[in-house]
Amino acid sequence: MTIADNLYRFQDGKLSKCDMPAWFLKATESDDAIGWAETLSRAGCRQVESFGDIDNLNLYRTPDDGFLIEYVDVEELVVSVLIYDRADYLTFRAQYIAPLASLIMESDRQDVWDKEQANK
């Protein structure tokens, strides 16, 4: 499965598959041996927030004045979501980002606690 297979758009309260914008296509075609975050940066994205150490939720501003949200579990990219309307972004943040971020942070806390207990 490719990065493009996991690309969705959130609009009017719904997630749906979408075509890649030009900047995203440019990023996926990069053959540099650098990380995805750096590739996005070179394509014009700016990371504004990140949650998690094991599972990750990364939020970017896109070069076309939108938002890109990516959820990466311990193994792979699960989903990339593009949002261009600010009201949709607020809805997505409340309905998806807040619960996922809470789950990720709680999982990270549990992992730290487990390691502390193992070291006792």
81 burial class (0-12, 13-18, 19+ CB within 10 angstroms)? buried
Q: State the pTM of this model.
A: 0.81
Pairing of strands 67-72, 77-83: antiparallel
Per-residue pLDDT of the chain (120 residues; tens, 9 = 90+): 577 788 999 999 999 999 999 999 888 887 666 788 888 998 999 999 988 877 788 999 999 999 999 998 877 888 999 999 999 999 999 998 888 888 777 776 666 677 778 887
Report in angstroms the alpha-carbon separations of 61 from 7, 108, 109, 114: 16, 25, 28, 35
Cβ proximity of 28 and 19 under 8 Å:
no
User: Largest Cα–Cα distance of the chain, in whole Å?
Assistant: 52
What's the distance, Cα to Cα, between the start and end of the chain in Å?
42
Residue 52 sits at φ, ψ, to 5 deg, of 105, 150
Predicted pLDDT of residue 32: 67
* Euclidean distance between CA atoms 54 and 107, whole angstroms: 8
pLDDT for 80: 94
Are 60 and 47 in contact by the 8 Å Cβ rule? The answer is yes
Nearest to 69 by CA among 53, 91, 109: 91
pLDDT of residue 28: 84
